Structure 1
Amino acid sequence: MNTKISLPRSPTEAILFVYVCDADGKLHFLSSSYEKSVSPDDDRQLPTSISALVKPSFIEEAARHRAVTLRLHGELNKYNVELDDQFTTAQSVTFYERALPRDSSMAIQGVAALSHLDDADNDNMPDIIHYLSSLLTIKCRVTPWSLHPVRSENNKKLSAVIAEILDSHFRFKAHDDQWISGGGRDFFIYKIEYFIDRSLPIQFILPGFPCKSPNKESKVLGTLPDKGEELAFKTMVKVAEMIEVVYVPGVRFAIVSDGHVFSDLLGVPDVSVNEYGRTLRTAVASMSGRPDIFTFHGLDDLLSLDASRATFTEEPGHFPEQLPCLSCYVIPRYTSASVLPAADDARRLLCLLAGRDEKSLYEEIKQNTSVTGLYRGFSRFLLEDLQQQPEMLALPSKNARKQLCSKIAMEMLIRNQAYSTIVGRLFPIHVRISIHPYNCAGPKFGVNLIHKDFVFQAGTLDGQRGDATEISLFHIPTPWHNLVVSDSNGLCIVTKKKDALKLGGEKEPKLMFYEDGRPSHLLIEQPFASLYKGAGTQSKLPDPGSEIAPAAEVKEIVLSSEPTKFSVTSVAASEPYCAYSPARRRFLLFLIALAGGFGPLAGNIYLPAMESIRTAFGTSVSMINLTVSMFMLTFAVAPMGWGTLADSAGRRNVYLISFAIYVAASIALGFSQSYALLLVLRIVQAIGASSVQSLGAGTIADLFKPTERGRAMGIFLLGPQMGPLIGPVLGGFLTEYASWRWIFFFLAGLGAVTWILFLLFLPETLRAKVGNGQVYADHGLLVFPGPHILEETKAAKSATKYNPLAPLRFLRFRSITLCVTYIGIIFGSFYCLNVEIPAVLKDVYGYDASRVGISYIPTGVGFILGSTIGGRYADWKLHQAMSATGLDHVPESRIRSQWVGIILFPVGLALFGFAGHFHWHVSLLLVSLFISVFGMTWLFSCNTTYLIDSFPGSASSVVALNSLFRNPAAALGSAIIGPFTNKVGLWPAFLSVAMVDVTGAALVVIVMIYGAKWRMRSSTSVNQTDKGKP
């Protein structure tokens, strides 16, 4: 009889079974994709569905030979076994094997996998199957192993007792669960009998402890583990100790963090996930008292082929080299959270290995109550977790926010399913427990991670406890979505911060801290029994004296000056956005604003000396003009390279390297003896000077929260904007009273002083590396990067491959493309004005050089006022919107603040054209200059801040793209305005320029209307584009 098995649809389904082989060639099977579970018993035969496919005689014969060969050579082996001729499926089974250590009772660990999938269009599938098979061969946890189980009636009774402990003290319960009716209890006993028959510790595996919720306003205290995690560990320890009373080998818990699986969907930076996990592993001894029963694993170490990485590590993986198709996989983006390249690669790899089957998942949501509950739970907590995320705030209605959360919940389900599948494959003999409300029929068992006597029902404070009515309606409270509140008797409840703030009482609440400064929990100095009915019936966890930390371990802070009033701000124990003092941030802002002026200064200080330089080198005007053009072109393009490097490797080193290049090139220019050397060195000088164009924006995003960025950006832009004003004056002075060479020596000296200031005072600010900067804030004002700092920052070092063209990827976002195009138009128009100012003052008004210089005063005032007032206005409008809606900022609020500049800039240009053409009083001309510059800098401040707010994790890169559009537009405007004015006259020329600006403003209006919607759909459209869809 011919039997036909349909081809699998995902790489994980291609894995037929995992096995071990003893020295005699006997196979022992651990898991199979074609059966719900396969016991790892030593007398288990080949799974029937597999034995029907593969020639059994060949397998047994080959196994004996392999057991000896691999034992001797110890190398990874791969070979094929053809399927029986009676089957029509044109396939073979590939076996991957490795020798186990010689002290093991087994000789070989192996994986059997089909070589093809039901996906003929995917050319990368064989590579993916090969990677997964290799991974399972190397990383599948098959030890400890025993060849001699001892089965007895006593062991069966012992298994039943342990099942009762789980049921009474750990298991999630609902009225419709299947612990009994669905065979869950029997399956649990079946799983643990393997360990008991061999006198081995029972191995539990728990995916969880990802990171704290990003909603610190209404859910959690901060970003680090607190009393909630402590109670969770103590709950597991208590269960372990209860089992140890009846079963001496006890239990072990493998904690598999899923933080990096979901962090980008939740708006949590990967570096925060690392910090949470690092603190958790460090504090587990003090939190649990039993660090010996816990091991920790992360997404990166689980998926790496490096056999030495058995537990969690923050060293980046090298997935792209091992799986080339990884870089082609596009992850949907719903938030702007900063990601670490290694974590992003691990997420891609996870999705590739497990496959995506959304159609089947939709059916599961409809039919499986456990999956329904999981989907509803994801959707529900996403509404709260993402409450303060810009992507949510940009949506106009609650219904739109729900729709976004539903999309993200579906993506979370896909990744959860993928992660669950991979974890199940890597830990085939472990007992699966979960914080999600599964129906407990197996293979997963839902557990209350915090002892149930401490938890009020489903996040309410009404004192009701007990089982959930339906699985799909229940939410198990977890430490990372809640905080702990304790009363004067040491009783605890686990609830959200917004509910905790409703707790009344006449005495002031206290926030308790651990000795290392981490927030622990809230303390209410009166019994819960006096506040809520039924609270007095709660019992404490065993060993209650350890539940509230002793006075020696905690500090207490009074959170409110009024007896009964809570303040959301004062109760929040979250970290500040930036750990530096306001004075230090102002100093750093001054430093980068000073540095920001070097590029425009170097470009413009050169202009008065061009004739002297041409004479010195005996070259033509066009060749000298080429040095100006090449400087501007380089200055436009180079920021892309610096911006990409700064967003991955860090800001500080890029500042130091680029300014060292700038200083060296300036010194060499002062000594240059040939035109060719002059041209090359001007290009090098432009490369060094251009870095701050993008670096400054990134540093502002690091140091200032969104509600402060407008003001900060206005101050920063003063540096680049003042360069063109003071440059020609300084250049003329130095050329006349010294030599053109002293222009470059002056720039070198000023640059060297700035470089020293960077070296001494500028810390690393990239948030992906140092978070909010606490690591530097704790070490004083002077920055000397010694081992104590490098050790704390090296773990988050990026593994991104350097790509100077990376900023171009932002052109995929329509709102960014429109904004940088508009700023290019504005900057080109400004340079039309800048070129004509001295010509008009000399030719029309008869001013000499000194009076022309004085006439720039209104322009300078316009620069200062437009930049600073525009930034403050944008921040004020943001605060106004927040007060009116109760929401945080959205990037598009910056666009709506540009209306002042949109009106004033073209009005000023037109007024300049008419005043100069018709020889109106010079005061009107100077007013036109003030209006134009005021409007232009207002626009720059608001627009650049919008770019930063849109991509705060890649601020340097996106602003580098802005420079790429802006500077060539300036060069174009400078080149065409002279001939155009000579041909049509001054007022028609500048009225035309003003009309171009008015037309260009339509781009900004489009972003005002559609920007938020585009940003929400950006991740989907990127995926479609990459797949060849429109």
Structure 2
Amino acid sequence: MSKSSISEHVQPVYCALPFKRKVLIIIIVTLAGFLGPVSGNIYVPILPHLERVFSVSTSVINGTVSVFMVVFAIAPLFWASWADYGGRKTLYLIPLIIFIISNILLSSVPANIVALYILRISQAFGASSVMSVGAGTIADIIEPKHRAKAISIFMWGPQLGPVLGPILSLIPWRWSFAFLAFFGAFVYLLIMFLLPETLRYLVGNCEGYTGYFVKPKLFQEKIVEGYPKPPKPSLKVYWKLIKFKPVLLSSVNAGLLFASFYGLMVTFAHVLEDYKFSRVQVSVSYICPGISLILGSTIGGWLSDKQEKKIPEHRFSLQIIGLIISMCGIIGYAWTAYKHVHVASVFVFTFLSGFGMTWVFVSNTTYLTECSTNQPATNVAIGNFMRNLAAAICTAIINPILKKTGFGWCLTGLGFLNLVSIGFVVVLVKYGPKWRSEYK
């Protein structure tokens, strides 16, 4: 066989960018992914303090967390569908401008609860695109057999929120938002000048790029042929994906798990205050669940790629382990905190709950990028929607439930939600391949 006939059968590389360029892209989208979660977590440790600053009740100040999470859940559905259709880079640059302006205003307007609600909504709207669009960028440049490891690194951004957010909350709360404005501007410049467009429908496998710097542009024209055209964003497209059982079940699975973990997170500061922790000690204590998220993501991502074996559902077998770890952590936290056992035990169980949760999330997010290949950002956005909506609902209702059922039983109920998630995992392992083969 001639060399020319051999070359005709050689498959092009999945992504032509050199390894160092891929690493740079992952670093940039990871930094961008940090913005939304740190905006939420910079806020949670000082909720008791903000109650006094704004002269409102616990339920009212918790409501500012809920509206942030609701918007953070819904807005990516809009951003991600257009990122899958018209390009990734545009859907970084436009929302981040909104985020930067919101933080400038949060750092400067008078302390008014109505203004706080409005600006937290716009802040969430601006920061919300990155998680789903970032996952789409990863799917563009990293082939499936290595994708979970890359996504586990990308998730360091969201997971560093619980680590650095509480530390940043030690400075005056207005300066916290000023920091977010400055950091958002820095990330914006990185995206503008160093992040290439990666949507495969527009640029293929990126073989047309040379060098590290890119010419700033808001929209990318199509420069390749032969890649399937993604469907134009519409309610019909979303409804089709939401009805697609692999996307629906894996998204609900993540939502239930995140609701249980977020119930722990919004009570953590109050629990530590009962142990007579100072505000500084409370803020620093959030490093514990933050580190658990990073470790769980990293280990879970590495093992998930080991399990993939050409069939995406193979990733789910590891999720049962993570769900059991998280459930044990939440239930252990519930009763050690309620019985006022030594605070070290509270930290141990908090660590376990975060480790198990993010162990599950990395394989879940990777699976969403694989189960319908031309809409990875949209699939992840649906997963984020379920997850953040569940967190918002949990934040809104947990205080009344705590008063009615007591701390121990309330958190135990949240922990047992993981049993439902285990059921979803079993169903997906059994029927997921069949459902994906039938999807058109």
**Structure 1 and Structure 2 fold alike (TM over 0.5):** yes
Residue number among 669, 672, 683 corresponding to 2:121 in the alignment: 683
Say whether the 8 Å CA contact 1:608–1:732 is kept in structure 2: no
Instruction: Give the residue type in structure 2 aligned to 1:521.
Output: S
Larger Cα-atom Rg? 1
Residue number in structure 1 paired with 2:215: 784
| Whole-angstrom distance in 2 between the partners of 1:620 and 1:1004 | 39
Per-residue deviation, residues 901-940 of structure 1 (Å, max 9, x unmatched) = 0221111112212322333333332221221111100000
User: Paired residue for 1:954, among 348, 355, 375?
Assistant: 375
CA distance in structure 2 between the partners assigned to 1:572 and 1:794 by the alignment: 19
The answer to whether the aligner puts 1:870 opposite 2:300 as a matched pair is yes
**2:178 aligned partner:** 745
Alignment match of 1:977 (pick from 383, 387, 398)? 398
Distance 1:621 1:830, change over 3 A: closer
Query: SS at 2:171's partner residue?
Result: helix
- Distance in 1 of aligned mates of 2:242 and 2:117: 31
Match of 2:193 in 1: 760
CA contact (8 A) 2:166 2:283 kept: no
Could you tell me how far 1:712 is from its partner in structure 2? 1.1
Query: 1:753 corresponds to which letter in structure 2?
Result: F
Note the 1:147-158 alignment, pairs <5 A.
none
Aligned to 1:855: 285
Kept after mapping to 2: 8 A contact 1:662/1:686: yes
Q: Say whether 1:657 aligns with 2:94.
A: yes
SS at match of 1:583: helix
- Partner Cα separation in structure 1 for residue 191 and residue 266 of structure 2: 34
Alpha-carbon distance between aligned partners in 2 of 1:795 and 1:942, rounded to the nearest angstrom: 30
> Does the 8 Å CA contact 1:698/1:948 hold for their aligned counterparts?
yes
8 Å CA contact retained: 1:592, 1:696: yes
**Equivalent residue number for residue 255 of structure 2:** 824
C-alpha distance 672-716 of structure 1, shift in aligned 2 (>3 A) = same
**1:758 positional shift:** 0.3
Kindly tell me: are residues 863 and 800 of structure 1, through their superposed partners in 2, closer, same or farther at Cα, counting changes over 3 Å? closer
Taking the aligned partners of 2:223 and 2:385, their CA distance within structure 1 comes to 35
- Residue 589 of structure 1 and its aligned partner are, at CA, apart by 1.0
Does the CA contact (< 8 Å) of 1:668 and 1:681 recur in 2? yes
The one-character-per-residue Cα deviations of 1:96-116 (angstroms, maximum 9, x if unpaired) are xxxxxxxxxxxxxxxxxxxxx
How far did residue 814 of structure 1 move?
Answer: 1.6
Deviation, structure 1 residue 980: 3.0
- Relative distance call for 1:831 and 1:612 in structure 2 (3 A) is closer
**Contact residue 46 and residue 279 of structure 2 kept, 8 A:** no
What CA distance in whole angstroms lies between the structure 1 residues aligned with 2:122 and 2:325? 37
Give the deviation of 1:662 after TM superposition. 1.4
Deviations 1:577-607 (A, max 9, x none): 1111222212211211111121121223245
| Contact 2:203/2:222, CA 8 A, preserved across alignment | no
Partner amino acid, structure 2, of 1:760: F
Which residue identity does 1:846 align to in structure 2? Answer: K
Structure number with the higher helix fraction is 2
Deviation readout 1:323-357 (Å, 9 max, x if unpaired)? xxxxxxxxxxxxxxxxxxxxxxxxxxxxxxxxxxx
Q: Tell me if the contact between 1:769 and 1:797 (Cα under 8 Å) persists in the aligned partners.
A: no
Give, in angstroms, the shift of residue 749 of structure 1.
0.7
Query: Aligned partners of 1:583 and 1:957: how far apart in 2?
Result: 27
Give the Cα–Cα distance (whole angstroms) in 2 for the partners of residues 618 and 923 of structure 1.
33
Identify if the C-alpha distance between structure 1 residues 605 and 924 changes in structure 2 by more than 3 Å, giving closer, same or farther.
Answer: closer
Residues in 2 aligned to 1:578 and 1:768: alpha-carbon distance in whole angstroms:
13
8 Å CA contact retained: 1:711, 1:875 = yes
Structure 1 unaligned residues grouped into runs of 5+:
1-484, 487-510, 512-519, 524-570, 882-888, 1020-1030
1:695 matches 2:129: no
Cα distance in 1 for residues equivalent to 2:53 and 2:288: 36
Q: Which residue pairs with 1:993 in the alignment?
A: 414
Shift of 1:943: 0.7
Measure how far apart 1:805 and its partner are. 7.2
CA change 1:724–1:804 in 2 (3 A) is farther
1:96 corresponds in structure 2 to none
Q: Is 1:587 aligned to residue 8 of structure 2?
A: no
Amino acid at match of 1:957: T
The Cα of 1:622 is off from its aligned counterpart by 6.5
Is 1:636–1:965's contact at 8 Å kept on the other side of the alignment?
A: yes
**What SS does the corresponding residue of 2:197 show, helix, strand or coil?**
coil
Contact map agreement 1:698 1:952 (CA 8 A) in 2:
no
Pair 817,711 (structure 1): closer, same or farther in 2 beyond 3 Å: same
Structure with higher strand content = 1
Paired residues of 1:865 and 1:934 also in contact (CA < 8 A): yes
Cα distance in 1, alignment partners of residues 392 and 195 from structure 2: 33
**What amino acid maps onto 1:600 in structure 2?**
P
**Secondary structure of the equivalent of 2:215?**
coil
Q: How does 1:418-457 map to 2 (within 5 A)?
A: none
Once the two structures are TM-superposed, the CA of residue 730 in structure 1 deviates from its matched residue by 1.2
Q: Does 1:810 align with 2:241?
A: yes
Deviation at 1:822, TM superposition (A): 1.1
Name the CA distance, whole Å, in 1 between partners of 2:135 and 2:76. 11
Name the counterpart of 2:42.
605
Aligned length: 437
Which letter does structure 1 place at the counterpart of 2:414? V
Change (3 A) 1:804 1:581: farther
Residue 202 of structure 2 contacts residue 221 of structure 2 at CA under 8 Å; is this kept in 1? no
Deviation at 1:677, TM superposition (A): 5.0
What TM-score, normalized to structure 2?
A: 0.90
Contact 1:662-1:687 at 8 Å conserved across structures: yes
Aligned counterpart in structure 1 of residue 424 of structure 2, from 960, 979, 1003:
1003
- The alpha-carbon distance between structure 1 residues 855 and 605, as it changes in their structure 2 partners (threshold 3 A), is closer
* 8 Å contact from structure 2 (residues 324, 418) kept in 1: no
1:574 maps to 11
Cα distance in 2 for residues equivalent to 1:681 and 1:694: 22
TM-score (norm 1): 0.40
Q: How has the CA–CA distance of structure 1 residues 797 and 661 changed in structure 2, closer, same or farther, with 3 Å as cutoff? A: farther
Post-superposition offset of 1:743: 2.8
Change (3 A) 1:818 1:861: same
User: CA offset at residue 725 of structure 1?
Assistant: 3.8
Matched, 1:939 2:423: no
1:709 is displaced (CA, Å) by 0.9
**CA 1:572 to 1:930, structure 2 compared with 1: closer, same or farther past 3 Å?**
farther
1:990 aligned partner, one-letter code: L
Q: State how far apart, in whole Å, the 2-side matches of 1:616 and 1:984 are.
A: 29
CA gap of 1:966–1:842, structure 2 versus 1, over 3 A, is: same
Residue in 2 that maps onto 1:912: 333
Whether the aligned pair in 1 keeps the contact of 2:73 and 2:385 (CA below 8 Å) is: yes
Summarize the Cα distance change of 1:637–1:706 in structure 2 as closer, same or farther, 3 Å threshold.
Answer: same
Query: Are the counterparts in 2 of residues 641 and 803 from structure 1 also a CA contact under 8 Å?
Result: no
Counterpart-to-counterpart distance in 1, 2:104 and 2:238: 31
Does the 8 Å contact 1:770/1:793 carry over to 2? yes
Partner Cα separation in structure 2 for residue 978 and residue 846 of structure 1 = 21
Is residue 66–residue 395 contact of structure 2 (8 Å, CA) maintained in 1? Answer: no
Post-superposition shift, 1:676?
A: 5.2
Q: 1:675 Cα deviation (Å)?
A: 5.8
Distance in 2 separating the partners of 1:607 and 1:852? 10
Q: CA deviation at 1:991?
A: 2.5
Q: Which amino acid aligns with 1:635?
A: F
Within the candidate set 719, 735, 739, 2:157 is matched to: 719
Q: Any conservation in 2 of the 1:579–1:774 contact (CA below 8 Å)? A: yes
Question: For the Cα contact (< 8 Å) 1:642–1:804, is it kept in 2?
Answer: no
Once the two structures are TM-superposed, the CA of residue 964 in structure 1 deviates from its matched residue by 1.3
Structure 2 vs 1, CA of residues 620 and 639 (structure 1 numbering), >3 Å: closer, same or farther? same
Amino acid across the alignment from 1:904: I
SS at match of 2:212: coil
- Offset from partner CA, 1:423-444 (integer Å, 9 cap, x none): xxxxxxxxxxxxxxxxxxxxxx
Between the aligned partners of 1:934 and 1:763, the Cα distance in structure 2 is 33
Change (3 A) 1:669 1:796: farther
Q: Secondary structure at the match of 1:952?
A: coil
Which of 248, 256, 270 aligns to 1:839? It is 270
1:630 and 2:77 matched: no
2:142 matches 1:709: no
